[in-house]
């Protein structure tokens, strides 16, 4: 008897996990309230539960926000129990720290402590058990997408590696299809080459394929195109390699798109509309105004620390490339020794750079050295979120070496960015290529929600000293 199959896509798994967490969090709050009532010798009744109903939102919503910030629903986290439990521990710790912050600044006896501790304990256990059950159940074959990769070249090998590392057990790769005679019956990335384009139709039936990944960077042969039409007739999903790569990694594979250049180009992104740019600019002005207020309060202390540690200018400005390739001057607190660049020649800042002062290391680790760029935001030269602005000297070099590099100049550069929170600051051409892939993903998928996620991730990086 054939086992029924219910192959779930990664997006469907995320939705499933999100709603599972909501149910478990509601249960965790109920358990916390029960323990709280037990501790106070109060009856745990329906009326008591309704009188404390606000705790379901007060505890549940921040937990979910912190979970999203920590990639709790990303394939890389959900694919292994170890990474899941580590992320869950981090979420619980941040939840407690956030509550302690509000508790410290609240009037005495205004906020309780026990219910939050009970929630932290119960949510860790219940969500941990839920994720364990999820992995035990949904790692099984009936819930996996059985896929073939068309093309065993560079692009095909790359997506096979990504599926192995970040596939969240959503995909069971059966093998490759490739027309090259010397690749037949060979093993590529631990997977067999099962045949040529002529074998695709028969393999759909034999292997019970639910998805085909198109990893060809050149023009499709008409015979293969006919096979794809049959895939569509059978309800088999056809996924271009760059699209799946984006979905799993959060970046655009600029090196693997070949003739399909339009896949990497953000041809119709949110920034070309009217509403999103207006909302984004309003948020920029509000955030920059708040930032400048706190900057004004802290400037005397930061300036004194910089001067005592390394006498010289407090502020530092550099030419950067903005939207449309326009040059502007970005402001920063000085974090390096004066005249750090010999003969004025531009040089990448390296990890553990000897030119960085002691105070500068702290400023960079907390991103505080970038705070004067709130002025750039007010002037409209930068945004709160966007690709990090690069120096003209490096841009001239990188445009020659990296395809699509100029595309990042179709939006305003930002203080915080998707490439920054995912990959960090660049120190080489290779780093710039990786950052570009993340920047292109941001430009294609930019939204208010993604901006908020990036800002919150940046705040966490700042509080945990995860800057440069």
Evaluate whether 176 touches 151 at the Cβ level (below 8 Å).
yes
Alpha-helical segments (H) within 390-466 = 392-401, 418-423, 429-445, 448-463
181-215 per-position pLDDT tens digit: 888 888 888 888 888 888 888 888 888 888 888 88
| Per-residue confidence band for 266, with pLDDT thresholds at 50, 70 and 90 | low
Calculate mean pLDDT across residues 9-29: 90
Name the more confident of 227 and 278.
278
CA dihedral of 277, 279, 283, 286, whole degrees rounded to 10: 110
CA dihedral of 383, 387, 393, 395, whole degrees rounded to 10: -130
Calculate mean pLDDT across residues 226-253: 83
Q: What is the pTM of this model?
A: 0.80
User: What's residue 1's pLDDT?
Assistant: 40
Number of neighbours of residue 286 by Cβ within 10 angstroms = 11
Which of 216-230, 284-298, 391-405 has the largest mean confidence? Answer: 284-298
- Examine the pLDDT at 465 and tell me if it is beyond 70: no
Tokens linked to 214: 């198109």
Q: Note the CATH number of domain 144-263.
A: 3.40.50.720
Tokens linked to 199: 């074998």
| Per-residue confidence band for 414, with pLDDT thresholds at 50, 70 and 90 | very high
Give the residue among 233, 163, 172 at the shortest CA–CA distance from 201: 233
348-391 per-position pLDDT tens digit: 666 666 788 888 888 888 888 899 999 999 999 999 999 999 88
The DSSP code sequence of 130-188 is HHHHHHHHHTSGGGSEEEEEE--SHHHHHHHHHHHHH-TT-EEEEEEE---GGGTT-EE
| Per-residue confidence band for 467, with pLDDT thresholds at 50, 70 and 90 | low
Q: Which helix (H) or strand (E) holds 282?
A: helix 275-309
Give the residue among 110, 24, 118, 97 at the shortest CA–CA distance from 64: 24
**Average pLDDT score, the chain:** 84
Evaluate whether 78 touches 131 at the Cβ level (below 8 Å).
yes
- Examine the pLDDT at 307 and tell me if it is beyond 80: yes
116-153 per-position pLDDT tens digit: 899 999 999 999 999 999 988 887 777 788 889 988 88
| Per-residue confidence band for 250, with pLDDT thresholds at 50, 70 and 90 | confident
| Per-residue confidence band for 258, with pLDDT thresholds at 50, 70 and 90 | low
User: What's residue 413's pLDDT?
Assistant: 93
- Examine the pLDDT at 171 and tell me if it is beyond 60: yes
Give the residue among 328, 321, 336, 331 at the shortest CA–CA distance from 288: 331
Domain ranges (residues) in the chain = 10-138, 144-263, 270-340+347-463
User: What's residue 267's pLDDT?
Assistant: 62
Question: What letter would DSSP give residue 5?
Answer: -
How far are the Cα atoms of 110, 280, 405, 452 from residue 442, in angstroms, in the given order? 42, 14, 14, 12
Distance CA 309, CA 332 (A): 17
Beta strands 237-240 and 191-195: pairing type? unpaired
Give the residue among 128, 131, 163 at the shortest CA–CA distance from 145: 163
Name the more confident of 430 and 341.
430
Query: Percent of the chain at pLDDT above 90?
Result: 25
Calculate mean pLDDT across residues 71-86: 87
Evaluate whether 193 touches 183 at the Cβ level (below 8 Å).
yes
**180-188 long-range contacts, CB within 8 A, separation 24+:** 180/152, 183/152, 186/152, 188/152, 188/156, 188/157, 188/160
User: What's residue 20's pLDDT?
Assistant: 94
């Amino acid at each position: 008897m054939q086992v029924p199959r219910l192959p779930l896509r990664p997006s469907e798994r995320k939705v499933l996990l999100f709603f599972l967490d909501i149910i478990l969090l509601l249960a965790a709050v109920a358990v916390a309230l029960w323990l709280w009532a037990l501790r106070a010798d109060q009856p745990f009744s329906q009326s008591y539960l309704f009188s404390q109903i606000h705790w379901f939102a007060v505890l549940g919503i921040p937990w979910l926000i912190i979970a999203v910030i920590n990639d709790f629903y990303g394939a890389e986290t959900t694919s292994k129990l170890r990474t899941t439990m580590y992320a869950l521990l981090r979420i619980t710790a941040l939840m407690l720290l956030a509550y302690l912050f509000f508790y410290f600044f609240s009037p005495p006896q205004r906020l309780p402590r026990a219910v939050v501790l009970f929630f932290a304990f119960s949510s860790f256990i219940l969500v941990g058990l839920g994720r364990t059950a999820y992995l035990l159940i949904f790692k099984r074959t009936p819930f996996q997408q059985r896929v073939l990769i068309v093309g065993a070249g560079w692009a095909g090998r790359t997506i096979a590696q990504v599926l192995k590392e970040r596939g969240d057990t959503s995909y069971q790769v059966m093998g490759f299809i490739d027309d090259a005679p010397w690749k037949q019956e060979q093993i590529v990335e631990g997977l067999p080459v099962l045949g040529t384009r002529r074998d695709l139709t028969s393999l759909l039936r034999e292997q019970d394929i639910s998805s085909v990944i198109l990893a060809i960077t050149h023009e499709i042969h008409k015979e293969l195109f006919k096979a794809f039409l049959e895939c569509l007739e059978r309800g088999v999903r056809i996924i271009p390699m760059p699209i799946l790569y984006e979905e799993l990694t959060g970046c655009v594979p600029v090196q693997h798109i070949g003739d399909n250049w339009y896949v990497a180009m953000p041809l119709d992104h949110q920034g070309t509309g009217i509403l999103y740019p207006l909302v984004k600019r309003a948020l920029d002005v509000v955030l920059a105004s708040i930032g400048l207020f706190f900057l004004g309060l802290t400037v005397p202390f930061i300036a004194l620390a910089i001067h005592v540690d390394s006498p010289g200018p407090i502020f530092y400005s550099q030419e950067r490339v903005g939207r449309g390739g326009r040059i502007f001057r970005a402001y920063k607190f000085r974090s390096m020794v004066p005249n750090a660049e010999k003969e004025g020649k531009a040089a990448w800042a390296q990890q553990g750079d000897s030119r960085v002062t002691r105070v500068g290391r702290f400023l960079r680790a907390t991103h505080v050295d970038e705070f004067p760029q709130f002025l750039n935001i007010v002037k409209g030269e930068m945004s709160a979120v966007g690709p990090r602005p690069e120096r003209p000297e490096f841009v001239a070099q990188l445009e020659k070496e990296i395809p699509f590099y100029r595309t990042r100049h179709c939006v305003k550069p930002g203080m915080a960015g998707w490439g920054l929170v995912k990959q960090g600051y660049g120190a080489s051409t290779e780093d710039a290529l990786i950052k570009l892939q993340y920047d292109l993903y941001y430009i294609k998928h930019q939204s208010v929600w993604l901006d908020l996620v990036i800002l919150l991730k940046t705040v966490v990086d700042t509080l945990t000293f995860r800057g440069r």
